[in-house]
Amino acid sequence: MKVLRLQYEKNEILKKNKAIEVCFKCSTCSKFCPITQYVKKYNQENSFVTHLFEAEKSEALNDVWMCCACEKCVITCPQDTNPTDAFTNLKEKSYREGYAPEIVYRLMEQLLQEGTVYNIKFSNAARKRAGLTEIEKNERAIKELNILADKTGLVRGKGNN
Ligand code: SF4
Ligand code: SF4
Average confidence score pLDDT of the chain: 87
The reply to whether 3 falls in a domain is no
Amino acid symbol at 90 = L
Residue list, ligand 2 pocket, CB within 6 Å: 29, 32-35, 48-49, 67-73, 83-84, 87
The domain boundary residue, chosen from 48, 63, 96: 96
Please name which ligand lies nearest the alpha carbon of 35: 2
Count of Cβ atoms closer than 10 Å to residue 18 Cβ: 12
Per residue in 66-80, pLDDT (tens digit) is 999 999 999 999 999
Q: Are 15 and 90 found together in one domain? A: yes
The reply to whether 157 falls in a domain is no
How far apart, in whole angstroms, are the C-alpha atoms of residue 139 and residue 154? 19
Mean pLDDT across 29-50: 94
The domain boundary residue, chosen from 96, 112, 135: 96
Whether the CB-CB separation of 56 and 74 falls below 8 Å is answered with no
Helices (H) and strands (E) in the chain, counts: 9, 0
**Residue 6 C-alpha from the chain's centroid:** 19
Per residue in 126-154, pLDDT (tens digit) is 999 999 999 999 999 999 999 999 888 77
What pLDDT is attached to residue 158? 43
Question: Which of 1-5, 51-55, 89-93, 115-119 has the lowest average pLDDT?
Answer: 1-5
Provide DSSP, 83-106.
Answer: HHHHHHHHHHHHHHTT-S-HHHHH
User: If pLDDT is split at 50, 70 and 90, which confidence band does 104 have?
Assistant: very high
